[in-house]
Amino acid sequence: MTVQFDFVSLDAQGKTQAGDRSFIRKRCMQGKNKREDSRRTLREAKRDAAKLPPAPPHDLALVPFAAEINGDSREMLFKYYTLTTIRHSLSPLEVCVDFDTVERQSFDLLLKDSVFLETALLMSSLLDDFALVRASPGSRTLHHLRKTLALLNTSLSEKDGHLKESTLYVVVTLTILSAVLGDWHAANAHITGLQRIVKLRGGIKFLQTRPKLHYKVDRIDLSWCLSSGNKPRFEPDDFFWDPLFRTRASYCNPGKETRFKLDDMAWKSPSPLEGSLSRVATDLLDVDDLTITLTTTRA
């Protein structure tokens, strides 16, 4: 904005003339009695704003998502995927196990599948609610939840809708979300739907080909059993209790003895169930040692 200067003359004593003094007072009072909500003030502010250069676009402004979303939604997605990346980089499971993860496809699904996009917005909004320590989901979260459920129902009504990867992801996410919020009635409905979808896609054999999905489903199933006292929904056809690792030493500490001889305890246990559980404990110790070793090696 250009600054204009006005000059006044002084007499021999260094005083201004009477006309100049009124001019000085006028200049000094400019803007002093100005109302912030007057039409003239608003017009001036609008003209000044028009002279400003436009703000740079958001990092995701040029990404063609599966549906039109506003700048706030793009910002939420950016934060959600940033936190997801950080969480995965810190998780020993992701470091030690080479999963064929759905997350590798998730960004593609954001561009192609509106149900997946809406679910990502739902989770992003819920993360904001947790960050603000809200007692219940906010209005924006509930809006995305209603929209996600409507889009999911539409997708499932289509032919072979249960075969979509996004459908599995959405149902798993809704089940986890319901469990986190303590809405076990909704969790029961979602886990029942998840059970039917998995059954249509091959049951336990299908899950065995998708280890990360299997892992998530088992976590959901365990949470459901612990909270409701009911039997698991995704029981395998047959159980086996043999240890998955013969010895911990062969994997982590070659030539060294194991910390605990739980295998010996298993065979001497008076109860078959206690013996089976001790073998499970052996496997957990093996996984623990393997995780520590791989994390240290790859650090």
Name the pLDDT band for 264 (thresholds 50, 70, 90).
very low
- Tens digit of pLDDT for each residue in 20-62? 777 777 777 666 666 677 777 778 777 877 777 776 766 666 6
Backbone angles phi, psi at 242, to 5 degrees: -70, 140
- CA neighbor of 167 nearest in space, from 210, 109, 206, 232: 109
Cα–Cα distance measured from residue 127 to residue 146, given in angstroms and rounded to the nearest whole number: 17
* Full-model pTM: 0.58
Query: Cα separations (Å) of 75 from 94, 96, 118, 120, 125?
Result: 26, 31, 14, 12, 11
Backbone angles phi, psi at 178, to 5 degrees: -65, -40
Cα–Cα distance measured from residue 199 to residue 288, given in angstroms and rounded to the nearest whole number: 32
Query: Helix 71-90 and helix 114-131: axis angle, to 10°?
Result: 80
- Asked if 233 and 221 count as a contact pair (C-beta separation under 8 A), the reply is yes
- Tens digit of pLDDT for each residue in 156-179? 888 888 888 888 888 988 988 888
Whether 285 shows a pLDDT value over 70: the answer reads: yes
SS3 content of the chain, % helix, strand, coil (to 5): 65, 0, 35
Whether 148 shows a pLDDT value over 60: the answer reads: yes
Name the residue with higher pLDDT: 207 or 264: 207
Whether 240 shows a pLDDT value over 50: the answer reads: yes
Ranking 131-145, 160-174, 244-258 by mean pLDDT, the lowest is 244-258
Name the pLDDT band for 217 (thresholds 50, 70, 90).
confident
Centre a 10 Å sphere on the Cβ of residue 269 and count the other Cβ atoms it contains: 16
Backbone angles phi, psi at 13, to 5 degrees: -90, 0
Please state, for a pLDDT cut of 90, what percent of the chain lies above it: 1
- Tens digit of pLDDT for each residue in 72-119? 777 777 777 666 655 555 455 555 555 554 455 666 777 777 888 888
Whether 184 shows a pLDDT value over 50: the answer reads: yes
- For 163, half-sphere exposure in the C-beta direction (CA atoms, 13 angstrom radius) is 3
User: What residues does each domain of the chain span?
Assistant: 1-52, 71-228, 241-299
Tokens 């739907």 — which residue?
193
Whether 193 shows a pLDDT value over 80: the answer reads: yes
